Amino acid sequence: MNCVRKLLLARELSARRGILRQAALGRDLPWLQGSSCAQCFWPVPVRSIRSSTALSRSELVPSAREDKEKDRGSRDGFLVPFDELFERAHEGDRNKAAFSRAVELFCQRDIRRRGHVEFINAALRKMPEFGVERELDVYNKILDVFPKEVFVPRNYIQRMFNHYPRQQECGIHVLEQMENYGIMPNKQTKFLLLQIFGEKSHPVRKYQRLMYWFPKFKHVNPYPVPAALPRDPVDLARISLQRIAADLSAKVTVYQMPLTDISDAGKEITQPHIVGTQSPDQQELLACHNPARPVFVEGPFPLWLKKTCVYYYVLRGEPLPPEEKEEVIDSERNFYYPMHLDLDLDRDLWDDEEFYVDDVVEGPIFAMCMAGAGDQATLAKWILGLQQTNPILSQTPVVFHLTPGPRERELQAASDSESGEEEIPQSWHAKQEL
């Protein structure tokens, strides 16, 4: 297959650049001697290939100029034909199948794949539109558009200089887009790149760098966010709360399920969800809280999960006054060994491993919750639910310190915020994603 493809390419190239063949004939290089099949089956086109490679160097300058023209062209709507290709391909939905069809259309249209760099650039731009920006096989398909073998340097001089720079750059673009979306190349990608650009070319180097760093970064986050966040606001709240609480003993309780109902009077009643979390430690802290001192409900505070922002509320107390903070260890506490030594000696400097940090004293946090609405009535229901497991809460004054969150502002703008989450439309931006 390979040699057939090579021959086709060779023909194409020789046809395009045949005019200058004579000038280049004298500078043949035995680049294909290793590739035996090409040489023994079809000696004549081999020669034409030789000449064409030689020519490519002589063409460097004009082609660069051409690039500039094309760049200008793209800005002026030169690329419209390729965009049209995509428009034509999606008769129904914009999806992976439609995108693949467009790529196939381009490949079938012209055996010489003329304008493939422009097509690839357009395809990369179109990917998010078709929702295929995270599909590895689509990237491989795009790379497959490149003609094979042609851009592989054949001698050390080609290797030294930037061989087919525009094509190499385009290949790097493809890889960069993969990088930005966090798509790890696979074996096929490597195979294609080697076939297209050859070893030690810039795209292959880029590929190698990706393969060096991506696996290292894959599990670098100790608290990974699931790839697909749940749609259900209650499930989402559950995940988020488990994430903030970071205590395996903490229990998430759904105090109220979301509900939309039509009352008898025909009025629509919506009941926002309330999901809360509390760990046994927090419960203990709250049990020890002096009921004379109020506790506060504060919020909303934002929590970002990838591109989704959710808001949570906390129930907290004031920082303890210093006289209550000191815990006295009862000497009759442990039946077996002394819990503290009656010595007038402190820890030495060298073993004091606590370094100075600017400690900001914060009050204890007793519980956290997420709710479908941030009004006091909803949060009061949460406190009511908490009272069942924390009886002391019914004797403690609860103060609501609520700031109007983005949701409230949104509500004023009469937009829908029932889901309790907010999709921030983010224009795709490379650096921001990583």
240 Cβ contact partners less than 8 Å away, ≥ 6 residues apart:
303, 305, 310, 312, 370
Does residue 341 bind another protein (CB under 8 A)? Answer: yes
Does residue 27 bind another protein (CB under 8 A)? Answer: no
Closer of 194 and 398 to another protein (Cβ)? 194
List the one residue from 219, 325, 429, 431 that touches another protein (CB under 8 A).
219
Bridge partners of 4, per DSSP, are: none
Does residue 348 bind another protein (CB under 8 A)? Answer: yes
| Minimum distance of another protein from residue 60's CB (angstroms) | 36
| Minimum distance of another protein from residue 186's CB (angstroms) | 8
Does residue 223 bind another protein (CB under 8 A)? Answer: no
181, 163, 174, 172: which is closest to 204 by C-alpha?
Answer: 172
List the one residue from 76, 263, 265, 350 that touches another protein (CB under 8 A).
350
DSSP 406: H
**Tokens 């259309």 identify what position?**
105
Closer of 337 and 355 to another protein (Cβ)? 337
64, 59, 69, 61: which is closest to 17 by C-alpha?
Answer: 59
Which one of the spans 100-108, 209-217, 224-232, 233-241 is the region binding another protein (CB under 8 A)? 209-217
Which one of the spans 58-66, 191-199, 201-209, 344-352 is the region binding another protein (CB under 8 A)? 344-352
List the one residue from 63, 95, 290, 334 that touches another protein (CB under 8 A).
334
| Minimum distance of another protein from residue 340's CB (angstroms) | 6
| Minimum distance of another protein from residue 359's CB (angstroms) | 19
DSSP 198: -
| Minimum distance of another protein from residue 335's CB (angstroms) | 5
Closer of 103 and 210 to another protein (Cβ)? 210
CA distance 397 to 169: 66
Closer of 130 and 139 to another protein (Cβ)? 139
Does residue 214 bind another protein (CB under 8 A)? Answer: yes
Cα dist. 358→136, 319, 348, 349 in Å? 47, 16, 22, 19
List the one residue from 323, 330, 416, 423 that touches another protein (CB under 8 A).
330
| Minimum distance of another protein from residue 328's CB (angstroms) | 12
List the one residue from 91, 264, 268, 353 that touches another protein (CB under 8 A).
353
Does residue 345 bind another protein (CB under 8 A)? Answer: yes
Closer of 83 and 247 to another protein (Cβ)? 247
Number of residues that bind another protein (CB under 8 A): 30
Does residue 248 bind another protein (CB under 8 A)? Answer: yes
Pairing of β 274-278 and β 251-256: antiparallel
318 Cβ contact partners less than 8 Å away, ≥ 6 residues apart:
293, 294, 296, 363
279, 293, 281, 298: which is closest to 395 by C-alpha?
Answer: 293
The CB density around residue 310, as the number of other CB atoms within 10 Å, is: 24
Which one of the spans 21-29, 100-108, 133-141, 212-220 is the region binding another protein (CB under 8 A)? 212-220
| Minimum distance of another protein from residue 221's CB (angstroms) | 13
Does residue 209 bind another protein (CB under 8 A)? Answer: no
Pairing of β 268-271 and β 259-262: antiparallel
Q: Which two tokens stand for residue 202?
A: 């810039």
| Minimum distance of another protein from residue 336's CB (angstroms) | 5
List the one residue from 200, 209, 218, 409 that touches another protein (CB under 8 A).
218
Which CB contacts under 8 angstroms, 24+ apart, belong to 207-211? 207/175, 210/175, 210/178, 210/179, 210/184, 210/185, 211/184, 211/185
Closer of 323 and 327 to another protein (Cβ)? 327
What beta strand segments (E) does 194-294 contain?
Answer: 251-256, 259-262, 268-271, 274-278
Site residues for another protein, window 46-65 (CB under 8 A)?
Answer: none
* 3 state DSSP class of 205: helix
> How many residues in total does the chain contain?
434
Phi-psi region of 246 (alpha: psi -120 to 50; beta: other; left: phi over 0): left
CA distance 389 to 366: 12
Site residues for another protein, window 167-186 (CB under 8 A)?
Answer: 184, 186
The contact set with another protein (CB under 8 A) reads 184, 186, 211, 214-216, 218-219, 248, 330, 332-348, 350-351, 353
